[in-house]
Structure formats: C-alpha cells, structure tokens
Amino acid sequence: MKQPAVYIMANKRNGTLYTGVTSNLAKRVHEHKTGVMPGFTSRYGCTLLVYLEVFDEMATAIAREKQIKAGSRGKKLALIESANPNWNDLTPRIL
C-alpha cells in the first residue's frame, strides 16, 4: 500500500538513528531489516522501526522529514519517547 510516511529506524534504544521518507513504508522497512540495500542502516544495524508518521501528500512528508533531520539528536529522542516510550519495534503496526 502506497502512503507517504516519515520514519525513524534505530539499532537499539538511544542508539544510532536513521530518519527517512518513503511512499511504501512496509517495503522500505523490509529493505532496512534485511539489509538488501547497502548503506547507513545496514552498516549500523538500524533494523528497529521506532517512529512513524503518515501523510496524505508526499510533499508534506518530505517537508516533515527535513524538519526532523534538521533537529538535534535530543529532539529526535524526545519525539521517539513521546510516541514510543518503550522503543518497541513498530513493524507489526504496518504489516
């Protein structure tokens, strides 16, 4: 199912974070988890989906991704903690 989304992947609680945007969250998270695409998330083992926001328009999702990426690490941690205080893997929510 295609729906614009912004997401944050982590390798563990308070660990390395990756913020991304996609039109197919389930497919993209699968790619991160299986390491099919070489890059940052496979290098640092970011396989936990710890935060997500869905949008109606891709332009809005891209703007939100830029806003999150421009924020400090502390702001990203606070964002995750506010929505997912236990840092659960949210993948089952999108399948």
- Per CATH, the number for 5-94 is 3.40.1440.10
- Output the pLDDT for position 37: 86
- Output the pLDDT for position 41: 95
- Output the pLDDT for position 55: 98
| Segment 42-51, tens digit of pLDDT | 999 999 999 9
**Taking the domains of the chain in order of start, what are their residue ranges?**
5-94
- Pair 32, 47: CB distance under 8 Å: yes
Which residue reads 């996609």 in tokens? 22
- Output the pLDDT for position 1: 63
Spatial separation of the C-alpha atoms in residues 84 and 45, rounded to whole Å? 19
Inter-axis angle of helices 73-83 and 58-70, nearest 10:
120
Q: Which residues of the chain have pLDDT under 70?
A: 1
Spatial separation of the C-alpha atoms in residues 27 and 52, rounded to whole Å? 14
CA distances, 27 to each of 1, 34, 57, 83, 91 (Å): 9, 11, 18, 22, 11
Question: Residue 77 is which amino acid?
Answer: L
- Output the pLDDT for position 65: 98
pTM attached to this predicted model: 0.97
